[in-house]
Structure 1
Amino acid sequence: MPTQPQQHIVQIGTKKQQAVLSKSQKEFNRLIQKIETLNQSLHDLREATQHIQQRVQTDYRPLLTQYSRFRADLVRLFDRAYESKGYTKTEKKKLVDLIQNIAFELIDNQGMDELKPIYNKHTEENFDKTNAEADQHTAELLKEMMGSMFGINFEDDVDVSDPQKMAAYVQEQVAQREAAEAERKQQAAERKAAKPKSEKQQEREARKQTEERNITKAVRTLYIDLVKAFHPDRELDEAEKLRKTEIMHRVTEAYEKSDLLALLRLQLEFEHIDQSHLETLAEEQLKYYNKILRQQAQELDDEFFALQNDLAAMTGKPAFAVNSPIALEFSLNSDIAQLKRDIKQIKSDIKAFSEPAILKQWLKTYRIQKPDEFSFFDLM
């Protein structure tokens, strides 16, 4: 798996000098290292995700399709057994339970509509009606859950018949509520601003504004220095103009993201500062740099957490099982290996169950599951 290209190291002091660094200098190095690690972890996990998605299409889905076809063959075998003579009422009841469970899942999740006639034959109502009622029941449960979680009152005529519509309605209601809350806060802020401020309040606001300006200035100073050196407009040589244009794209991108680390790297790369410059940064400047770096680190932390959650939702695995390229690869390899074992087993079962005596013997061990129980055939 490819890694990010080698970049200039941004660090204050050598390893031997670390012990004598100031608290701000040590914090600067720690934050830089954290950002480096998070950037690499995000890059690797995104690369791994793309690789895994490709493998799902090429390696996993064909096996899943093959497995689903064998499951459909098993449904047909059970249906033929039900229609044949020699099976007791108890055995036929178990066959119906198997047909209903497996066929419903294959129709609902795999789109195998050719099994609908068999499913309908063994149920009191047809699949489409049953599924519509199930969707309605699910929608009502989702309404109750979402209403409790987000404090939303659903209108009687609102259409939340599928998860997408439900999500859209919830987002709309939350957005309206947030807009109303934002307006309320704005009005409260305006009322507060209209009130005379005490001397201490004025001092606090002045310090905060000054600090925000200095933080912005810290990034802007680096940006302006690079712009002065690499702006391509006055460059006559075409090759050099193209080079500077590319550099300016990198500079502008880093500035728009307030990416202090990237701007420092660019200065080091193009020799506008050297390592000694970093070592002589004033404590006041370091203070602002560290605030920017802390914000960068937090944003990357949040981004990595969100990516983990997205992968967990996509794969149905806990977050710890998809938090690294190795974990993702291991998880997919395990799923593929299990699917291959399941295919081998179901092929063997179909062959064996074609003998009525063997099927009858196996039905003796099969138990009709209760709604809150889990059956072997849920994995079939």
Structure 2
Amino acid sequence: MAKKPTAAQPALVHIPTTASDALSKEQKAFNRLSKRIGKLETEIGDFRTAATVLRQRVQQEYRPLQQQHNDLRAQFVRMLDRAHDTYKLTKTERKKLVNLLLNGFFDLLDRGYDDLEAIFDKYDPPLTDQEAAEAEAANAAADAREAELMKDFFQEQYGIEFDPEADVSTPEKLQNYVNQQLADRQQDYERQAAAAEERRPKRKKSPKQQAAADKKKAEEQNITQSVRTLYMDLVKHLHPDREPDEAEKLRKTELLKRVTTAYKANELLTLLRLQLELNRIDQQHLENLAEAQLRHYNTLLRQQVRELEQQQALEQRELSAFTGKPYYYTASPAAMELDFQHMKAGLTAKVQRLETDVERCGQDPAALKEFLKAYRILKTGNGPLLMRF
């Protein structure tokens, strides 16, 4: 079987040097920036590919494991409920069993296991109307106390005066009121600043300031013209309407799309690569570029480096949001694979352990007693229960 051809690599945009001909500062900067862009493009491409594969594997391999794990947890809840009613357990064992049920598995109600609600209500009955009313009154009183403390803080720190008619009875309503007051204050400040600016007499720039402004404007125009010159050269060469051969016409149409996309994105290096690829320029042309032209090029390349670095950070943040982990867990394809294997292995072990516990404890009271003996009820204030389920 013939090997699949590898994808063509982009032309290397690099100013060559020899031992007898050292590069200038701008030429060295051009080569350094070109290399950095190529490296970033490769890293981003590899990261996107690996991230796509990871998302697919999570859906195809990890989500089914999670479903199996939660199904087993639901079975464990039903088994504990039956054991509570049928096994001869001590008072301490029953207390541990109820604590385990209510603290280790209550999240299953939010995962679609509605049939378990009756079991949880059995061990933690809903509040009566009177209890609910008392709890609501206590919460309202606590909210009012917190709101008063926050009012004092905002009055002292920000000088905010509260309208007696404003509803700030809860911390949320108070925060919304404060946010609106601060926003109104900012708008007033901006209006006053704008009015002051309008009243301020227009002063002419000094000769030095004007010269600097003119130089900056000329630099921006030169940079724009540098990219446009490359773009127009490629457009003229690739214009499909001048091509009689249909296959070649399609090829040029696709290339022209790449050229237009690169031009709109100010991607100088992409345009230079295409010029090299299409033999519109050669390495000697790059070597003979004037220093002023190189400065314009390097300004654009630095901008492209910054944009690629921002894109790389964005890709990492998006994947981090998907996995729920800090970006350094999935910062590279190798790290993604390692973290996924670790997560999958950990969940697989949990599933296997839970399968054993459900079977043993559901059939043998002694096994459940042994399990409950090892279980510890956390004291209030020790934080969330770290379950092995």
* Aligned counterparts of 2:201 and 2:34: Cα–Cα separation in 1: 38
- 1:83 is aligned, of 82, 85, 110, to 85
Tell me whether 1:325 sits opposite 2:327 in the alignment: no
How has the CA–CA distance of structure 1 residues 271 and 338 changed in structure 2, closer, same or farther, with 3 Å as cutoff?
A: same
Tell me whether 1:212 sits opposite 2:220 in the alignment: yes
- 1:365 is aligned, of 365, 368, 374, to 374
Q: Residue by residue, what CA displacement relative to the aligned partner does 1:229-288 show, whole Å, maximum 9, x if unpaired?
A: 222234444333323222211110110110011000010011110010011111111111
* Aligned counterparts of 2:326 and 2:370: Cα–Cα separation in 1: 38
Deviation at 1:195, TM superposition (A): 3.4
Aligned twin of 1:196: 204
Aligned twin of 2:70: 68
Describe how 1:252-331 pairs up with structure 2 within 5 A: 252-331=260-339
Deviation at 1:57, TM superposition (A): 1.4
* Aligned counterparts of 1:334 and 1:307: Cα–Cα separation in 2: 22
8 A contact 2:316–2:331 mirrored in 1: yes
What are the ranges of 5 or more consecutive residues in structure 1 without an aligned counterpart?
Answer: 162-171
Structure 1 segments of 4+ aligned residues over 6 angstroms from their partners: 172-193
- 1:56 is aligned, of 55, 58, 62, to 58
TM-score calculated relative to the size of structure 1:
0.80
* Aligned counterparts of 2:62 and 2:278: Cα–Cα separation in 1: 47
Deviation at 1:182, TM superposition (A): 9.1
Q: Any idea what SS the aligned residue of 1:233 has?
A: helix
Report the AA paired with residue 367 of structure 2: I
Aligned twin of 2:120: 119
* Aligned counterparts of 2:52 and 2:276: Cα–Cα separation in 1: 32
Q: Residue by residue, what CA displacement relative to the aligned partner does 1:170-197 show, whole Å, maximum 9, x if unpaired?
A: xx99999999999998878877894332
Deviation at 1:111, TM superposition (A): 2.2
Q: Any idea what SS the aligned residue of 2:241 has?
A: coil
How has the CA–CA distance of structure 1 residues 46 and 335 changed in structure 2, closer, same or farther, with 3 Å as cutoff?
A: same
Q: Residue by residue, what CA displacement relative to the aligned partner does 1:20-70 show, whole Å, maximum 9, x if unpaired?
A: 111111111111111111111111111111111111111111111111111
Report the AA paired with residue 368 of structure 1: I
Describe how 1:159-170 pairs up with structure 2 within 5 A: none
Q: Residue by residue, what CA displacement relative to the aligned partner does 1:187-230 show, whole Å, maximum 9, x if unpaired?
A: 78877894332222222211111111111111111111111222
- 2:14 is aligned, of 11, 35, 40, to 11
Q: Any idea what SS the aligned residue of 1:9 has?
A: coil
- Determine which structure has more spread, i.e. the larger CA radius of gyration: 2
* Aligned counterparts of 2:19 and 2:115: Cα–Cα separation in 1: 73
Q: Any idea what SS the aligned residue of 1:12 has?
A: coil
Q: Any idea what SS the aligned residue of 2:247 has?
A: helix
Report the AA paired with residue 114 of structure 1: D
* Aligned counterparts of 1:216 and 1:28: Cα–Cα separation in 2: 18
* Aligned counterparts of 2:186 and 2:283: Cα–Cα separation in 1: 47
Deviation at 1:3, TM superposition (A): 8.6
- 1:334 is aligned, of 334, 342, 345, to 342
* Aligned counterparts of 2:206 and 2:99: Cα–Cα separation in 1: 76
8 A contact 1:220–1:255 mirrored in 2: yes
Describe how 1:39-188 pairs up with structure 2 within 5 A: 39-108=41-110, 110-125=111-126
Deviation at 1:94, TM superposition (A): 1.6
- 1:241 is aligned, of 238, 249, 257, to 249
Report the AA paired with residue 324 of structure 1: S
Larger mean CA deviation between 261-270 and 93-102 belongs to 93-102
Aligned twin of 1:227: 235
* Aligned counterparts of 1:320 and 1:18: Cα–Cα separation in 2: 44
Report the AA paired with residue 305 of structure 1: A
How has the CA–CA distance of structure 1 residues 42 and 209 changed in structure 2, closer, same or farther, with 3 Å as cutoff?
A: same
Aligned twin of 2:355: 347
Aligned twin of 2:163: none
TM-score calculated relative to the size of structure 2:
0.78
- 1:356 is aligned, of 346, 365, 387, to 365
Aligned twin of 2:175: none
Report the AA paired with residue 306 of structure 2: Q
Aligned twin of 1:27: 29
* Aligned counterparts of 1:275 and 1:204: Cα–Cα separation in 2: 34
Give me the CA root mean square deviation. Answer: 3.9
Q: Any idea what SS the aligned residue of 1:201 has?
A: helix
How has the CA–CA distance of structure 1 residues 156 and 77 changed in structure 2, closer, same or farther, with 3 Å as cutoff?
A: farther
